[in-house]
Structure 1
Amino acid sequence: MKDAINNKLKKLNADTESIYSSLEGISEEKLQDQRYGWSIIQVLSHLNDAETASLKYMQKKVKAGDKMQNAGLGSSLRMGLTNMVLKSSLKWKAPSYISSPPTYTLNEIKSKWGETRSQIHEFVNEYPDKWLDKLVYKHPMGGRQNLERAVDSFIYHQVHHVHQINRIKKQLGL
């Protein structure tokens, strides 16, 4: 199962590299433009912040060890529905606690996000196999989930925000 999780992390990283490729040649000024809501950089910052917060939660939760609850059909169904919504291009207002993500240069966010991803990889590789079905992650909409579904949520969250990045690029005439 850990091989499957690592393969999903590879996909997540490849998808992130595709985002970066799609931004090549766009000026920092355009990447920072907030005329239409969040800037492209703020979207990237939000994705990194969400993964960072999720990792911190999992690092804390894993301290409970064997006392963590087992995943079941209900958690799987909730996350499946959540991922369907995230894959769509539907828009909704961000919760107030993330209403204004920080702004960085593209190189700064690449560095920060790269560090977050390295920490996620390390967490996954050190995570005990016997806990792979434990509820170590909590998604705001999908509820408590196991490690594999946590990584799935990162993938679908990113897919959701690619729609947003594409909308922003279109509004900016890019």
Structure 2
Amino acid sequence: MDDDAVLGAELAAVVAGARRRAVRDGDRQIDTAHLLHSLLEHDSEVRAAVGGPPQLARLLGYLVQRSIGYGLRWQGSVEDSGGLSVLPAAAVRGPRDTAGWSPAAAAALADARERAHLRAGTRVTGIDLLAALTSDPGSRAVEVLERAGVRDLPARLEPGARDCAEEADAREL
């Protein structure tokens, strides 16, 4: 399947929003915090999963502060939790073309695709991407979530991840 078919219009809009945010912030790469911010703007299920209005407001506040100071320490650096080699910065044509993506963001997109595949979904959902973003404890998205007090999100998303793992185990038998 091509990326548009796998992502669908909603997630394609999230990716486009993350790309615009990175350019506007003057960042060399799209990172997991850009994806998280765009995901929260575009997906009501993700907003609901994050928690109630106080948590969501605090989280959006941290994400907005990113471009006015909080994230300035990230400018010019590459988000890499150590799991992947650094990717070159270039114009991004699509999610499978990961040039211009931080290694952690590229890994999150790949993980979201795998989560959709394991649940036999035809499209990646916002929850798939959110679960993927929270699975890397060294990512900028997780750092922002923790600073906003959203620490139990991976545990709340765990039942879906557990279902995916059980389906993968069943296929191997």
User: TM-score scaled by structure 1?
Assistant: 0.29
Higher relative contact order (CA 8 A, sep 6+): 1
Between structure 1 and structure 2, the one with the greater Rg is 1
